[in-house]
Amino acid sequence: MNTTKPKSSKITAGSIDTEKVSLNLLRANDFVAERIREQLKDILVINVCSSPGSGKTTLMQKTGELLKDKLNMAVLVADPETDRDAVRMKDVGINALQIVTGGMCHIESQMILQAIDVIDLENTDVLFIENVGNLMCPSSFDLGEDFRVTLISTTEGDDKPSKYPKMFLTSELMLVSKTDLLPYLPFSVDAVVEDARSVNPDIDVLEISTIKGIGLEEWTNWILKKHKEKKEK
């Protein structure tokens, strides 16, 4: 039995945990998340989060291209409306399924449980969940993932981790995206890393640009390493 504390129950420094005196509204979600972990015990599951426009879908496309000869990859793509991102995945040969949330600003574990019934799990090594573009609501919902990865683009500003602390607290890896734009923007990689580690000292960081190919080898090596570690458990 996985005894890891659910991501949705993590609280930031200076917060008050009221679980003992009030109803934990996320408990049902966490229960379903554990069912997902049991069902996907042989598949690496990565929950990819960010603000809208950070480059998640482009990164998923490039990741599929780079890993196609090494791992079988599937993507669950979530958006409030349209299936555009899933179509983009399928156009480059990635097994993808769109989750339309109907205006909801996040995915809940029940949505994932339903979606994996129509994914070819026997031929999937890595399942990516491309979450709704939002740094707030998705941070509170454990989806049964092994790892949460959060992108922060250079176009957003380098002060976001402290403004949206729970997302970075519950992430194992932060990807600083669109680094090819650094010469043109008042964004400091050192500042954003310092800000993120003030919230989560253990968070790993990679700098990437899908346009220029910066950091993509390190990113795919991280995925391959995590997949190997899970298979060896």
Q: Is the pTM for the entire model greater than 0.85?
A: yes
What digits encode the pLDDT tens for the residues 140-188? 899 999 999 999 999 999 999 999 999 999 999 999 999 999 999 999 9
For the cut 70, the answer to whether the pLDDT of residue 19 exceeds it is: no
Residue 209: DSSP 8-state: B
Rg (CA), the chain: 17
Please report the domains of the chain, with CATH numbers, ordered by start residue. 26-231 (3.40.50.300)
- Three-state SS for 88-129 is HHHHCCCEEEEEECCCCCCCCHHHHHHHHHHCCHHHCCEEEE
- Range name among 1-10, 33-42, 67-76, 144-153 with the lowest pLDDT average: 1-10
